[in-house]
């Protein structure tokens, strides 16, 4: 098949899923065209793969204030669809990508590609809910030829929020376990923890939904029991607040704010525990990548996370905002190396048995075939 993929280039789960999907589809013999406003950071295809990147240029003109990227993406999609005779355009994220795909199809009746939309989470729970976007998001969902969500929780939210009656298919995210593997990537453990301290880690886009201050508060409690270091990976609006809190609690010297990192596998492979206290996560791809790296994840029960983590078996769950329980579980896991190792292995086994690309990518292929 000839498949166009529209996605965000930024450090976020939807862009990662879209580009990884593109890479695996290309590896399985499809011709893939990634359409985005910049090169997605994980689009490092094998030279032999038929994977093309099409950069969208937006127009900046003072008479037209605001972001016109959605329209530019539609224009680029028309061009790519006509040049390469695309069969499918797969939009990741409802606003603006699904509406750009729909607009491109309407603009170009001579290339009647099918539109598949994958909803990732905040496109429904935050962006799509905004009054100015709500009817557009609903329209985009209802006018896609097929719609998927990354979890049952997000499917239920979409139906509840938008009153959608057209079918929604649940296709979970996946992880490349050959890449997210303990011991594979270079580890600078002795640099961050020179005295053999335990390493905790958090990784996100530092949006309010991630509750990064809870990460700092949990770590503060852990530090009262044992020497430890915290790696904070990513960036976003809540970074300064987390930094200030660490200073206020006088633990700043134990916290490394490392900003956006391309090769997170290097950090996952040498950390002992991941903190993921989000308000909700539709899926929690970062948690899955940590599980694949044999890390114990301590997560909230928000959104679809309980579908991913089996409390006490391959990770731990606590109620949203319950910093005390998260800290207790973290201390328990960090004190008992054997137990942590066993749970880490169980986490990797779950990634291997349920979330392999070889099991998930064919589900998208079957969906494409069914709409064609």
**Which residues contribute to the site for ligand GMT (CB under 6 A)?**
12-14, 17, 93, 120-122, 150, 173, 205, 207, 209, 281-285
Cα–Cα–Cα angle for 213, 214, 219, nearest 5°? 100
Question: Six-digit token pair at 126?
Answer: 């935050």
Closest approach of ligand GMT to the CB of residue 130, in Å: 15
Closest approach of ligand GMT to the CB of residue 235, in Å: 13
Nearer to ligand GMT, 33 or 211 (CB): 211
Nearer to ligand GMT, 17 or 328 (CB): 17
Least Cα distance to 316 among 75, 325, 324 occurs for: 325
Nearer to ligand GMT, 31 or 282 (CB): 282
Closest approach of ligand GMT to the CB of residue 89, in Å: 18
Closest approach of ligand GMT to the CB of residue 178, in Å: 20
Question: Six-digit token pair at 111?
Answer: 């290339």
Closest approach of ligand GMT to the CB of residue 299, in Å: 11
Nearer to ligand GMT, 75 or 172 (CB): 172
Nearer to ligand GMT, 4 or 13 (CB): 13
Closest approach of ligand GMT to the CB of residue 126, in Å: 8
The string of DSSP letters for 107-145 reads H-TTS--EEEEEE-SHIIIIITTSTTTHHHHHHHHHTSS
Indicate if the alpha-carbon torsion angle 219, 320, 124, 158 is positive or negative.
positive
Distance CA 115, CA 102 (A): 7
Interstrand relation of 198-203 and 169-170 (parallel, antiparallel or unpaired): unpaired
Closest approach of ligand GMT to the CB of residue 190, in Å: 31
**Edge-first strand listing for the sheet containing 296-300:** 255-259, 228-233, 198-203, 273-276, 296-300, 316-318
Nearer to ligand GMT, 171 or 228 (CB): 171
Torsion of CA 118, 20, 22, 38, to 10 degrees: 90
Interstrand relation of 2-6 and 114-119 (parallel, antiparallel or unpaired): unpaired
Nearer to ligand GMT, 170 or 184 (CB): 170
Q: Any idea what DSSP says for residue 247?
A: H
Question: Six-digit token pair at 114?
Answer: 């099918």
């Amino acid at each position: 098949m000839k498949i166009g993929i529209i996605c965000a280039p930024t450090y976020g789960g939807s862009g990662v899923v879209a580009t990884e999907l593109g890479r695996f589809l290309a590896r399985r013999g499809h011709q893939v065209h990634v359409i985005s406003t910049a090169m997605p950071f994980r689009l490092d295809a094998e030279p032999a793969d038929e994977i093309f990147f099409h950069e969208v240029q937006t127009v900046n003109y003072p008479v037209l204030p605001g972001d016109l990227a959605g329209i530019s993406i539609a224009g680029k999609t028309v061009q790519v669809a006509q040049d390469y005779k695309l069969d499918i355009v797969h939009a990741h994220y409802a606003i603006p990508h699904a509406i750009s795909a729909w607009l491109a199809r309407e603009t170009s009746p001579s290339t009647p590609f099918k539109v598949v939309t994958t909803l990732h989470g905040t496109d429904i729970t935050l962006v799509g809910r905004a009054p100015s976007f709500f009817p557009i998001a609903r329209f985009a969902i209802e006018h896609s030829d097929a719609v998927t969500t990354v979890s049952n929780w997000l499917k239920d939210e979409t139906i509840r929020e938008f009153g959608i009656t057209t079918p929604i298919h649940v296709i979970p995210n996946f992880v490349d376990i050959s890449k997210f593997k303990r011991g594979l990537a270079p580890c600078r453990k002795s640099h961050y923890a020179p005295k053999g301290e335990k390493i905790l880690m958090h990784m996100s886009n530092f949006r309010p939904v991630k509750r990064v201050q809870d990460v700092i508060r949990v770590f503060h409690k852990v530090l009262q029991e044992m020497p430890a270091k915290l790696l904070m990976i990513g960036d976003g609006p809540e970074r300064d607040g987390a930094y200030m809190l660490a200073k206020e609690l006088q633990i700043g010297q134990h916290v490394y704010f490392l900003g956006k990192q391309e090769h997170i596998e290097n950090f996952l492979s040498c950390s002992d525990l991941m903190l993921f206290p989000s308000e909700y996560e539709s899926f929690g791809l970062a948690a899955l990548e940590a599980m694949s790296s044999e890390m114990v994840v301590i997560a909230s029960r928000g959104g679809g996370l309980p579908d991913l983590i089996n409390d006490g078996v391959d990770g731990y769950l606590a109620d949203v905002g319950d910093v005390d329980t998260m800290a207790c579980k973290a201390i328990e896991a960090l004190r008992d190396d054997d137990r942590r190792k066993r749970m880490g292995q169980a986490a990797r086994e779950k990634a291997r048995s349920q979330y392999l690309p070889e099991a998930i990518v064919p589900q998208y292929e079957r969906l494409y075939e069914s709409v064609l």
